[in-house]
Structure 1
Amino acid sequence: MKRNRVNRVVLIGTGAVGSSYAFAMLNQGVAEELVLIDLNKEKSEGDAMDLNHGMPFAPAPTKIWFGDYSDCQYADIVVICAGANQKPGETRLDLVEKNTAIFKGIVGEVMNNGFDGIFIVATNPVDILTYAVWKFSGLPKERVIGSGTILDTARFRFLLGDYFNIDTRNVHAYIIGEHGDTELPVWSHADIGGKPIKKIIDEREEYTKEDLEEIFVNVRDAAYHIIERKGATYYGIAMGLVRLTKAILQNENSILTVSAYLNGEYNHDDIYIGVPAIVNRDGIREVLEFSLDEVEKEKFAHSVKVLKGIKETIFD
């Protein structure tokens, strides 16, 4: 029997990303219930206590506790942040075998406890692991979503806003493809206030194409720069995950560049990859197909090929 309608989110993995997500969830008052699950029971219990002590300062009450997989039965969303972390000098794809094995166990436990909601996957390599969750869970593709390039897109918009001295929230530009080294900027659909960035570059001599290329390289390599300095990235992705959670729970029909399953879109199939998609209470309502230019099509096809090569070593 279903309980009274309350939004419950279960977080699996309370490391740097997971605990930052829990903190951001509480600060934004996104869900009524937040369950923390982690192999390190004491750390997660401590997190739950610490977060609860901040409740008087939160915008809305959130029931937070350290739980177990049985709490997944009534969850609307299960967010997976568990797994091995990316080390200095290591690419996201280097993590694939370690984390696929970890995920098989996690997803099995979640599904064995009657979960029938939406998975959000944050662990790297996120595109491959989102595919793994879809395979292991047996859920419809629409209800398994990876964080994809939401953070890359946010980094892109921030740097473009900084460059053009415009509020980053008024910059519309997208990074698509693998969340990693083969991602690409969609310059053909980048605009500020409806004006294409390419047109701004042509009209204003203080802005150059070389600067734009440098901005993209800084976006692509941002994680490496942050890892060198502080060991891991977690605040930006945590806020991106909260944004995605909110879009689902509030049935927003928001457009976010998540890792979604392609079934013919962009002329590719059987892969999860970062693309703009409409997200609502049912998960991914629709993958948006931009009309890419020839260079973008080629780069996107390369990104798909790289991911499929990795996927095939595990699933085919």
Structure 2
Amino acid sequence: MQKSASASSLGPGGLDLSDMFFKPIQNTSPPSPTKRRTKISVIGAGNVGMAIAQTILTQDLADEIALVDAQPEKLRGEMLDLQHAAAFLPRTKIMASTDYNVTVGSDLCIVSAGARQIAGESRLNLLQRNVALFRGIIPPLAKYSPGMILMIVSNPVDVLTYVAWKLSGFPSNRVVGSGTNLDSSRFRFLIADHLDVNAQDVQASIIGEHGDSSVALWSSISVGGVPVLSFLEKQQIPYEKETLISCGPRPETPLALPPPLFLELLEHSKKG
């Protein structure tokens, strides 16, 4: 004789409530048949790396996010923070490890890991320390995800992007750096603030190497497509820039907010 369902599990009309309410959550929303699964790995769980991971998560840019860092306790804490927030965000699998094998099958790897510049340290010394770190980072990433796009945001970013290209053995069109994105973002903000307009309406660029040697394209500045060079007081812009630097800007936020760039890189990786 078959055992009947317990009264506690039956609702009105004899419906089995246990089957209705206690099915695994992941099975209630089947994956889209048209969406290709995407995996993004972030190397370095510092301020910049975690800001990037949060952007990927909140913008629903990937089905999987893998975090790698050399400090296991910090890494676990950062992973838990993202996993707890994921209850209110799109369904993304979040994993973390000190081992690079967690990045296997990535479409995009973003490297933010790097040594911090010590007060009085030259960029050359910083470069030497970060090149040593990259020798242990880039080869395993290339091994576990040979078809990925590799994006570098560690400083000095332009030289380290070249180093990453050489260490990876990838074609040059699959290794990119954040370049002067941060410089251009700050430049646009300063102009927008001076003219009391929205920064999204400002078209302005910084080119060259990220850092002191970069160049502002003054002649191409426009607001809503209208040239504004004649309206700018050139002496005030450098002063405001110097003030911004002395206030101690946090570079992680503007570096982490270019979803269109992520999407373009992911689309490129899908095309191979």
TM-score for both structures, normalised by structure 1: 0.68
Q: Cα distance, 1:77 vs. partner?
A: 0.5
Between the aligned partners of 2:61 and 2:124, the Cα distance in structure 1 is 31
Q: Which of the residues 238, 260, 284 maps onto 2:256?
A: 238
Counterpart selection for 2:95 from 49, 65, 70: 65
Residues 145-294 of structure 1 aligned to structure 2 (within 5 Å): 145-199=176-230, 201=231, 207-215=232-240, 217-218=241-242, 222=244, 225-226=247-248, 233-240=251-258, 242-249=259-266, 251=267, 281-282=268-269
Shift of 1:100: 0.5
Q: Quick one: structure 1 residues 243 and 46, their matched pair in 2 at CA, closer, same or farther if it must change by over 3 Å?
A: farther
Over 3 Å counting, the alpha-carbon distance change for 1:165 and 1:79 in structure 2 is same
Which residue does 1:275 correspond to in 2?
none
2:106 to 67, 71, 75: 75
Give the secondary-structure state (helix, strand or coil) at the position aligned to 2:209.
coil
Richer in strand (by share): 1
Is the CA contact 2:187–2:204 (under 8 Å) kept in the aligned structure 1? yes
Give matches, 1:90-169, under 5 Å: 90=121, 92-169=123-200
Structure 2 alignment gaps of length 5 or more:
1-34
- In 1: Cα distance, 2:245 partner to 2:257 partner: 15
Aligned residue in 1 for 2:32:
none
Structure 2 vs 1, CA of residues 223 and 44 (structure 1 numbering), >3 Å: closer, same or farther?
Answer: farther
Equivalent AA in structure 2 for residue 196 of structure 1: P
Q: Secondary structure at the match of 1:66?
A: strand
Q: Which has the larger radius of gyration?
A: 2
Match of 2:40 in 1: 9
Alpha-carbon distance, 1:182 to partner: 0.5
Alignment size in residue pairs: 235
What is the percent sequence identity of the aligned residues? 36
Any conservation in 1 of the 2:202–2:223 contact (CA below 8 Å)?
A: yes
Kindly tell me: are residues 120 and 30 of structure 1, through their superposed partners in 2, closer, same or farther at Cα, counting changes over 3 Å? Answer: same
Query: Which amino acid in 2 is paired with 1:65?
Result: M
Q: Which deviations, in whole Å up to 9, do the C-alpha atoms of 1:204-242 show, x marking residues without a partner?
A: xxx423223435x44xx8556416xxxx632222224x5
Q: Could you tell me the TM-score, scaled by structure 2's length?
A: 0.79
Q: CA RMSD in A?
A: 2.3
1:289 maps to: none
Deviation per residue, 1:110-157 (Å, 9 max, x gap): 123242210010110000100000011111111101111101101111
Q: Name the CA shift for 1:62/1:100 in 2 (closer, same or farther; >3 Å).
A: same
**Structure 1: stretches of 5+ with no match in the other structure:** 202-206, 252-280, 284-316
